[in-house]
Every structure is written in structure tokens, then in C-alpha cells.
Structure 1
């Protein structure tokens, strides 16, 4: 699992920083999370193969989280994309994007699907044989969701030495990987535990931006390996976080502590601050395993 931060600052783009967008690579899948202005440029700078992005997850319809989306959709068309693209986001996003495409006389040339969200309860919105994605209902000025990404580790690791010792044909390897026992020609049953190793522990990542301090998300994100939680303000401006329905670094750390997460990544910083290290310093008074997001930064989630 690998996270690439394309942008992680609040509100408007600047020459030195970009608003929210990130790419999560998980089991050879690429997921784009939010798509602010400048996302295409940041994708190229980070050398992300964005033609492999088949699912885009938009948290809410504030401009610093989705104003780059129609441009990216159009660029995919210019690049002769053929594979399907699905946009997951709040109800209304389909109307917004299709209006822009119609008004500009544009078309995609590939199948563009919208999974519009309305539920205020957590729900599974994507699942395949490798990954499950669930919503994390957040409390902001408009309807907003975070997203929980969880690996599926169904396959066990093949013990090649043991398989060769029993002279087991390769045609049975898939059966073994998925937990099956093997019966030899003489009738001897070889239990799966002798032929495989336990799979790696499945990893998880939770994206929570934008939101006020909200303990109702704790049962959803409990024990995740990495939590990205917005920290727009420092505690000295807590009155602004209440008014704008954002969080402070201290509040993000409190959520991480109460949810027993392994690692906390802070982001969505207000541009009023000249030194983002202040966010880490504040958060670490509550929770130790704190890292700072920054534009172009990568996190190898091993």
C-alpha cells in the first residue's frame, strides 16, 4: 500500500502548495481521492500512471476538493482512454460534470459512471477480490464522506519447498492458495497448513477530510493502519474550526488516540500558518505516531 499526496492544503491553490488530492495504490489498484485544481499537473510531477485510475472518490462538493475533476475527465478523452471510469461522490456531482461537458461540447469516448451518495450511514461502495471501500460519514458544512480502504488477503502464501517435496502439480496451486487441502494418489491428505504460510496482515487506510471533531467515526476507523485526518487549524484558532466546521491538530490526534490507529497523517492545513511542523508538535502532545502530509510526499504503508 502506497499513498502519494498530490495536494494537502485548504482553500485556494498557491504557487507553493495545492489543495486536496491524493492517490492510493493498493494491491496494484490506483484510487484517486479528491481532485482539486492542479491535480493533473501533480499527477505528472509524481509520475503516477493515471491511466490506471479507474475509480475516483470525491469527499464533498467544495471547490478545493473537486474543481480539477472535469479537466481530468477531459484529459482522459484526449489521451484516447478506453477503460471505464467511475466517480463516487455526493449526489449532484453527476449533474455538475455532465453540465460542463455538454456546455463545452465535450464527450468522453469511454464509459463514465457516477455512484452518487446520499446515505448518512457507513456503506460499502466498492468491492472486488482485492479491496473493499466504505464511506465514513463526516460532519461538515455540506454533505461529506471520508473513505475507508481495506485490503483483502484471501490468498495464502505457497510453501514452494513443501509443494515440491510432495510433487504436487501446478494445476493445484490456486486451490492451495485459497486454503484447500490436497489428496495424493495414495490417498494421503496433506493439510493446507503444511503447504502454505499465513498471508500478510491486511492493511487499511482511512481518509477523513473535511470534518469537525466527531467521535461517531471512531467505530468505523478503529485500529486502521493509517488515518489521514484534516487539521486545518491549530488549537489557538479553535474558534475558527468551530465556525467553519473543521478540526485542529489536537482534535485529529484525539480521534487517532481514541480509535487506536497505528499512524496519523495530518493535512488540509490552513495557509495562514508558515510552518506546518507546528501541527505535528501540537498533535504529538496527544498521540505519538504523527506524520505530516505535504505536496509530493509519499508514504510506503508497510
Structure 2
């Protein structure tokens, strides 16, 4: 699992910072999370293949989280994309994008599928044989969801020495990897744990932006491997955070601590501050394992 930050600053793009967008890579799948203005430029800078993006998740309909979407869709068409594209986002995302495509006569030459979200409860919105994605209802000025990505458990790993010792034929290997015991020709039952090793523990990643401090999300993100939580302000601007329904670095750290996550990544910084290092310093007074997102930064999770 690898996370590439394309943009992680609040509100408007600048020459040195970009609004929210990130690529999460899980088992050779690329998921684009939010698509602020300039996302496709950042994709090129980070040498990410456009053709591998088949799912896009939009948290909410504030411009710094989706203004890059119609441009990216148009570029996909110019690149003669064939794969279907699935977009998951709040109700209204289809109307906004389709209006722009219609008035500019820029209909895509590939399947474009919208999955509009309206529920205020967590729900499963994507699943394949390797990954599942659930929503995390957030608390912001408009309807907003975070997203929880979970790997599915891999099949068990063969203990080659053990299967050779018991002279088990290859035709039974898949059943063994699926967790089944094996009955030998002499009547002995060999339990699966003698023939396999446990697979790696599935990883999980929670994206929570934009949101004010909200303890209701804690049961949904409890014990995740990595939490990305917005930290628009420092605690000195707590009143401004409350007014705009954003979070401070200290509040993000408090959520991480109470949810007992393994790692916290901060992002969505206000550009009023001279250095993002202040966010890490503040968060570490509450929670020890803090990393700072920054444009172009990659995390191997």
C-alpha cells in the first residue's frame, strides 16, 4: 500500500502548493481521492499512469476538492481512454460534470459511471476481490464523506517443505491455500496450520477531510494502520476552525489517539502559517506517531 500526495493545502492553489488530491495504491490498483484544481498536472509530475485510474472518490463539493475533475475527464478522452471510469461522490456531482461536458461538447469516449452518495451512515461503496471501500460520514459545512480503504485477507501461504514432506500433489495446493485440511491416502488428517503460514495482516487507510472535530468517526476508524486527518488550523485559531467547521492539528491528534490508530498523517493546511512543521509539533503533544503530508510526498504504508 502506497500513498502519493498530489495536493494537501486548503482553499486556493498557489505556485508552490496544490489543493487536495492523492493517489492510494493497493495491490496494483490506483484510487484517486479528491481531485482539486491542477490534479492532472500533479499526476504527470509524479509519473502516475492515467490509464490505471478507474475509481475516483470525491469527498464533497467544495471546489478545492473537485474542480480538477472535469479537466481530468476531458484529458482521458484526448488520450483515447477505453476503460470505464467510476466516480463516487455526493449527490449533485453527476449534474455538475455532465453540464460542463454537454455545454463544451466534450462527451467522453469511454463509460462514465457516477455513484452518488446521500447516506449519513457508513456504507460499502466499492468492493472487488482485493479491496473494499466504505464511507466515513464527516461533519462539515456541506454533505461530506471520508473514505476507509481496507485490503481483503490474502490466501494462506504454502509451507513448501511441509507439503513435500507429506508428498501432497500439486492439485491440492489451491485447496490448502484456501484453508482446507488434507486427508492423506493412509487416513491421516493433516490440519491446515501444518501446511501453511499466515498471510500478511491486511492494511487499512482512512481519509478524513474536510471535517470539524467529530468523535462519531472513532468507531469507524478504530485501529486503522494509517489515518489522514485534516488539520487546517493550529489550536491558536480554534475559534476559526469551529466557525468554518475544520479541525486543528491538536484535534486531529486527539481523534488518532482515541481511535488507537497506528499512524497519523496531517494535511489540508491553511496557508496562513509560515511552516507546516508547527502542525507536527502541536499534534505530537497528544499523539506520538505523526507525519506531515506535502505535495509530491510518497508514503509506503
Tell me how far apart the structure 2 counterparts of residues 102 and 20 of structure 1 sit (CA, whole Å). 26
Quick check: 1:156–1:179 contact (8 Å CA) kept in 2?
A: yes
1:71-96 Cα deviation digits (max 9, x unpaired): 11111111111111100000000111
Distance across 2 between alignment mates of 1:170 and 1:92:
53
Alignment-derived partner of residue 298 in structure 2: 298
Which residue of the partner structure matches residue 64 of structure 1? 64
Deviation at 1:182, TM superposition (A): 2.2
Provide the rounded CA distance (Å) in 2 between the counterparts of 1:50 and 1:99: 23
Superposition deviation, residue 130 in structure 1: 1.1
Distance, in Å, in 2 between the alignment partners of 1:175 and 1:49 is 36
Deviation, structure 1 residue 185 = 3.5
Residues 154 and 200 of structure 2 are in contact (CA less than 8 Å); yes or no, is this contact kept in structure 1?
A: no
CA deviations 1:190-209 (Å, max 9, x no partner) are 22111110011111110000
- Helix, strand or coil: the match of 1:95? helix
- Partners of 1:81 and 1:276 lie apart in 2 by 38
Structure 2 equivalent of residue 234 of structure 1:
234
Aligned match of 2:250: 250
TM-score of the pair, normalised by structure 2? 0.97
Question: How far off its partner does 1:123 sit?
Answer: 0.6
Aligned to 1:101: 101
Alpha-carbon distance between aligned partners in 2 of 1:266 and 1:161, rounded to the nearest angstrom = 45
Q: SS of 2:108's equivalent?
A: coil
Q: Mapping of 1:73-92 within 5 angstroms?
A: 73-92=73-92
Matching residue of 2:121: 121
Instruction: Indicate the larger mover: 77-86 or 18-27.
Output: 77-86
SS of equivalent to 1:86: strand
CA contact (8 A) 2:10 2:270 kept: yes
- How much has 1:164 moved relative to structure 2? 2.6
Partners of 1:171 and 1:82 lie apart in 2 by 38
Please give the alpha-carbon distance, in whole angstroms, between the structure 2 residues aligned to 1:266 and 1:182: 49
- Checking the alignment, whether the CA contact within 8 Å between 1:283 and 1:290 is kept in structure 2 is yes
- Alpha-carbon shift at residue 177 of structure 1 (Å): 1.3
Q: Which residue of the partner structure matches residue 267 of structure 1?
A: 267
Shift of 1:157: 1.2
Match of 2:177 in 1: 177
Conservation of the 8 A alpha-carbon contact between 1:154 and 1:178? no
CA distance in 2, matches of 1:110, 1:174: 37
Q: Secondary structure at the match of 2:253?
A: helix
Q: Hey, what's the Cα distance between the residues in 2 that align with 1:183 and 1:76?
A: 53
TM-score of the two chains, using structure 1 as the length reference: 0.97
1:280 to partner: Cα distance: 0.2
Does residue 139 of structure 2 align to residue 136 of structure 1?
Answer: no
Aligned to 1:198: 198
How far apart, in 2, do the equivalents of 1:51 and 1:175 lie?
35
Tell me the distance in 2 between the aligned counterparts of 1:117 and 1:89.
Answer: 6
2 CA distance for matches of 1:153 and 1:37?
36
Structure 1 position 166, deviation (Å): 2.8
Note if 1:52 corresponds to 2:52. Answer: yes
Go from structure 1 to structure 2 and tell me whether the alpha carbon gap of 1:159 and 1:95 turns closer, same or farther (over 3 Å shift).
same
Counterparts of 1:123 and 1:57 in 2: how far apart (Å)? 14
Q: Is the 8 A contact 1:134 1:147 kept in 2?
A: yes
SS of 1:19's equivalent?
Answer: coil
SS at match of 1:10: coil
How many Å separate the matches in 1 of 2:51 and 2:159? Answer: 35
SS of the equivalent of 2:133 reads strand
SS at match of 1:261: coil
Task: In structure 1, list runs of 5 or more residues that go unmatched.
Answer: none
